[in-house]
Every structure is written in C-alpha cells, then in structure tokens.
Structure 1
C-alpha cells in the first residue's frame, strides 16, 4: 500500500488516528480530528497550500520550509529531532516534484 501523505509531508497513513478518526488531510479537506487540540478549524498547512495557493502539496511552494514547519513542533521532540523531521518532510515533498 502506498503511503497517504498530507500536504505538509506528514505520512498520514502512519498516524494512529488514520482509518479510525481520520483519512488524511486531502480526504477531510484539512479538517483533521485533532485540530480542536490546537485551536484550529482548518489545518494551517492545508489552508495555505490548497485554499490560498492552490497547490497539491507544500513541495510545490517556493517558501518551503516556511515558518509553519518550524512553529509546528511537537513539545516532546528535541530541537535536533524537529530539524531532522522538517528536513525529511521537505525532502519527501521535493521528491514528489522530481518524480512528476
């Protein structure tokens, strides 16, 4: 099975909530079940990428990684872990551009 990716490069299909409470950001149009935990109505990545810029994913954006990537840090991650996760997501999304 191919992984289901969010616009931000998160692998939705690896999340514990996938297939139970969520089908991935594309399927739910950015209205993920966890948004109430962070005080949002729509994922800020999805709103910017899909609604504002009309892109398929953040890898198509010239600003990647933007401030959203750095602001959305899990408090359990170290700075180094977060930097690596952002880099991995950016690389994954840019790879989609190179495949297409």
Structure 2
C-alpha cells in the first residue's frame, strides 16, 4: 500500500506512522485516534461511497468533508496551507 492517504496526507512524515498508526489505507480509515469502530469521513466517502482510489480522482476537492474533518489545532492559514499541500500531493500521485 501507498504511504499517501486517500486525502493526500503523506503519512510517512507523521511521527505516529508505523508506530501507533499505519495510515488510513492500511487501517481502512479506522485510525487510532478515531472513535472506536468509526472510519474517517473522508475515507468512507472516497473508498466506500464513491469507490475512488483517493480524493485526487474526485471533482469536488476540496469538499465540505475536508472542512468538517479539519484538525482543530490548525489556524485558518495553517488549514489552507494543509489543503494546498494535500492537493499538490494528490496531483503528483494520481
């Protein structure tokens, strides 16, 4: 499996990757910090509902689900940079 998640996050750069978390693709969206048994809403949309490889194949990116799953630690500016980075990563890998 790729170390690029379906939303464009490059998991290998995260300190949790390979330790507490193996990435959403390997965990089927059920990451260690999510409520037990629940998958990430982005993963559920892309993989289970739209049957796409990742968000890069979707015409609605960035969508309202990306906003709903925003990391609350990000400022508005950090969040915009995060989205831009994820879109670039998806474009390179789609």
TM-score by length of 1: 0.82
2:66 equivalent among 59, 69, 72: 69
Aligned match of 1:90: 87
SS of the residue 1:27 aligns to: helix
Is contact 2:9–2:89 with CA below 8 Å preserved after alignment?
A: no
Give the RMSD, CA atoms, in angstroms.
Answer: 1.7
- Structure 1 Cα separation of the partners of residues 37 and 69 of structure 2: 12
Is contact 1:60–1:94 with CA below 8 Å preserved after alignment?
A: no
Structure 1 unmatched ranges of 5 or more: none
Aligned match of 2:53: 56
TM-score by length of 2: 0.87
Structure 2 unmatched ranges of 5 or more: none
